[in-house]
A and B are shown apart, each in its own frame.
Chain A
Amino acid sequence: MCTLFLVGCWDRKELREIGPIVAIGLDKDLNTGKILFTAQVIRVGALSKEGGTQESPIEIVSSSGNTLFEAIRNSTEKLDRKNLYFHTKVIVIGEALAKEGVMPILDTFTRGKEMRGYVWLAVTQEGVQAREILGVKSKIERIQAAYLKHVIENKEFHAGANTSDLLTYYIKSLESGIEPTIGVLKVIEERNFPVENKLGKTTKQVKFSGVAAFKDDKLIGFLNKKETQGLNWIIGEVKSKAIILPSLIKKDKLISIEVIRTTSHIEPKIKGNNISFSINVTQEGSLVEQQSMNNIIEPKEIVDYLKKVERKNEELIKKEIKTVVNKAQKKLKSDIFGFGDALNKKYPQKWDKIQDRWDKLFPKIDYEVNVNVKIIRTDFKKGTFQPKD
């Protein structure tokens, strides 16, 4: 009985002893070739309700080693708590390390003990180290990893970026016929305003934009914002977005369309030995902003006008999709959309035959894009307000 008081049973972690790691950064030390492991640990005392709000709730610990596990254990030389991976939210991987292959790096985490599968993955571009991302001060959240996580999760509002979580990355990597993509976190400098009470003239912030494409688990290229939008159209991950189109009433003005719903479907077609795909996208949107002040009152005119807007919208989407598929086929040569996967679902025997040659077949595959847009409502009642003299 006494041992229960004094020592405790194996596997006990008292709350006083844990150091929950909320974000991890993995870099490659270019001088020594070792792996740099950076952990963002929560300092629990700073978040208590009763006091301690002055100090930062985050502590950054860095260490290096030849393997990740060695690097982690080396970090215990400097940290006074036990690592706890249950609450990790984001893993940021540096570009140099990602080019060598992601799965070998994450191998120690995916052995199933503590890391959850819903951890977001992110990549940094060359010139920015992963630990800089972890060191950026958060905007509103107290815990910086939560700031990163919410910035990543806000992708549903702009569709200019995309990323996989740990589980999805592994699923897509291990499955033939689709390659994963990981989003890119960039560091930008923003000007400080006096009311924000921040030190210095500018502050570093994090921007989530663009993706990195992978092939065979290695990073092979980046997609910029427009191309990522095209990617999102194809894989159906556009939840809400702003689409800017030129106004048809006045030539130099613009209108904004808010995307409400999209569905997308990749349809493989086989004609003899010829494989082609058709990418079908449907979108529902609503007209939310109109810069020209003209009024269209007649219902028929409104309907005609909206139909024209829909056509313009479709053209825009087609253009974005074509841009990205071209890039993926010609430059990246990686099937990040899941064409092979779609073929596998519909014609599994055909897929079995050509699976091994898919790398070579993919850059030459024909495709066509069909887009169907419907603007289901406008957000104004009868027209825009007209200022009177």
Chain B
Amino acid sequence: MFHETKEYFLNLFKEKKKMRKEKLNHVEETHTFHKNIEVNLTNLKGILGKSDDVVFREFQISVHNPIKVFICFINGLVNTEVINEFIVKPLMAYLPHDTYDNDGIYPNLIKAVKDHTLSVADLKETQSMNQVINAVLSGETALFIDGNQSAILISVQGFESRSVEEPATETTVRGPREGFVENIQVNTALIRRKIKNPNLIFEKLTLGKKTSTSIGIVYIDGIANPKIIQEVKHRLTQIDTDSILGSGYAEQFIKDHPLSPFPTIGNSEKPDSIAGKLLEGKVAIICDGTPVVLIIPYLFIESLKSVEDYYTDFFLASFRRIVRTFAFFATIVTPALYVAVTTYHPGMIPTILLVTMAASHEGTPFTSFLEAIIMGITFELITEAGIKMPRPIGQAVSIVGALVIGQAAVQAGIVSSPMVIVMAFTGISSFIIPPLNTVIILFRLIFLILGASLGLYGILIGFFILFTHLCSLRSFGTPYFAPIAPMIWKELKDSVIRAPLWLLKSRPQSITWKHTQRQGSSLKPEPPTSNQDGEER
């Protein structure tokens, strides 16, 4: 009995060791090519044929001596019309006679087929079976010709994709309403339409051992920081995992400071937002299968910005940004402040307010700290329920639920009414800055505990912790709290406030790491001078 269990655990241990040592490649073992088409067909059927949506179409090129060919594609991923019209039909119908000599041998059939027969826009030749398998799985068609050791991969993708529509999370009033979709080609096209520049580079990678997801790295050569580009490529190629189902997966594998709640990689669903950031010198990562595109590097100050700011006038934009900054601090510190001031510093509240607050606390049994926790949990539950519910009902229920529960709790004497107001204010402010949600939840709790145990002194300590942590972060080498720490004066024009566009002359130095100019000076619009020819009216 003992011996068996010992054996069992030893085996388990050995397996684990073996797993760790295994070199996990992106693709599985290589397969080989054969000249004989039958062997290729059998091989390919063995690998891909287990699934019923993979189609193998065998036919013959009609020439003097018919040659066997077959195409392999996956139904649903390809545009079958193009296959019918431009691949099968020409091969079946026509082959120029000067491809073969009088003996009936076809010395360069592949070349003939490629150059003269297949009237498709995008094809390539390959000798790697791995590439063939990957291509077929991506929606390309593979053409095998008997007697040749290479196959032709034709790109005729035609799968259903969501149409370009406004993203739900980033609505704008004055900007364009396009949003990315799940198809990487459509996404790259959307970016291309914004930046018509030969220096806009897309580099393609494949990640994910089992999913083979296409990842594209986008940047503008000459503006982007080459060190950052290199680091991005390096980190992406190091990813060694089964699947990359969304950009979020990639983000979590490559980000700096994975244990910090602050996001060091940004994201966006809108092409104009990405285009703007590319022009500032950032690098974007597009993942096939998600409409969310990653942006590197990402600084704290950018969570307070929105692309809408650049389309409106500078006063409104600055005002909105100040409101967002205030909301960020308000949502973190308000419950803690309330608890701290009412328990430790009642002298700071005007007498009448103190009396009213004390009156509302009269019948409640719990300490303010416990009330804050109860209300916080309730609010989070309501928010989560609101997200999960179908749209029309969801919003109504969450608002009504919050109000009714809050009111009922006050009347039942569980919490006091100022606490409901405080939590409602906190909750509403927390929706203003979505990228910092983790920060808000975590730091709200930290501040609450510190405020409840140490009063205002505790809140001060909390701020020290927050700011020292912020200053210690780096996003791909760039200090996270730039342009505030280290202070870069030129960039402060576009941080918490937004100076008029004609003043934003240089690209942010914190991203490009050097001084670059992006527009000319003295662009401020002015009325025309009256030095014109002609009469004055």
| A175, B455: Cα distance in complex, Å | 37
- Cross-interface CB contact of A11 among B342, B452, B455, cutoff 8 Å: B455
- Cross-interface CB contact of A48 among B346, B360, B454, cutoff 8 Å: B360
Q: Is A4 an interface residue (CB 8 A)?
A: yes
Segment at the interface with B among A12-20, A152-160, A203-211: A12-20
When the two chains form their complex, are residues A20 and B346 in contact, meaning their CB atoms are under 8 A apart?
yes
A13 CB to nearest B CB, Å = 6
- Residues on A lying within 8 angstroms of B by beta carbon are 4-5, 8-9, 11-16, 18, 20, 22, 42, 44-49, 52, 57, 84, 86-87, 89, 114, 116, 143, 146
Q: B326-344: which have CB < 8 Å to A?
A: 342-344
When the two chains form their complex, are residues B342 and A15 in contact, meaning their CB atoms are under 8 A apart?
yes
A/B interface sample: 13 pairs, CB < 8 A: A4-B449, A5-B370, A15-B343, A20-B351, A22-B351, A42-B351, A42-B355, A45-B362, A46-B359, A47-B359, A52-B359, A89-B351, A114-B347
| A15, B361: Cα distance in complex, Å | 7
| A45, B357: Cα distance in complex, Å | 10
| A44, B355: Cα distance in complex, Å | 5
When the two chains form their complex, are residues A84 and B356 in contact, meaning their CB atoms are under 8 A apart?
no
| B435-467 contact mask (Cβ, 8 Å, vs A): 1 or 0 | 000000000000001001111000000000000
Main secondary structure on A side of the interface with B: loop
| A5, B452: Cα distance in complex, Å | 10
Q: Is B368 an interface residue (CB 8 A)?
A: yes
- Cross-interface CB contact of A44 among B362, B370, B453, cutoff 8 Å: B362
| A116, B453: Cα distance in complex, Å | 25
Q: Known interface pairs A9-B454, A22-B351. Does A45 touch B343 (Cβ–Cβ under 8 Å)?
A: no
When the two chains form their complex, are residues A14 and B343 in contact, meaning their CB atoms are under 8 A apart?
yes
When the two chains form their complex, are residues B369 and A47 in contact, meaning their CB atoms are under 8 A apart?
no
Chain B interface size, as a band, is 20 to 34
- Residues on B lying within 8 angstroms of A by beta carbon are 342-344, 346-347, 351-352, 354-362, 364, 367-370, 449, 452-455
Main secondary structure on B side of the interface with A: helix
When the two chains form their complex, are residues B356 and A49 in contact, meaning their CB atoms are under 8 A apart?
yes
Q: Known interface pairs A48-B359, A87-B347. Does A14 touch B455 (Cβ–Cβ under 8 Å)?
A: no
When the two chains form their complex, are residues B343 and A12 in contact, meaning their CB atoms are under 8 A apart?
yes
| A146, B369: Cα distance in complex, Å | 31
Rank and list the top 6 A-B pairs by shortest CB-CB distance, nearest first: A86-B347, A48-B359, A44-B358, A15-B361, A15-B358, A87-B351
Q: Which residues of B contact A116 (CB under 8 A)?
A: 347
When the two chains form their complex, are residues B362 and A16 in contact, meaning their CB atoms are under 8 A apart?
yes
| A8, B453: Cα distance in complex, Å | 7
B412 CB to nearest A CB, Å = 14
Q: Which residues of B contact A20 (CB under 8 A)?
A: 346, 351, 354-355, 358
A109 CB to nearest B CB, Å = 14
| A18, B362: Cα distance in complex, Å | 11
- Among B351, B352, B452, B453, max chain A CB count under 10 A is at B351
When the two chains form their complex, are residues B356 and A5 in contact, meaning their CB atoms are under 8 A apart?
no
B75 CB to nearest A CB, Å = 59
A119 CB to nearest B CB, Å = 12
By beta carbon, the residue of chain A nearest B359 is A48
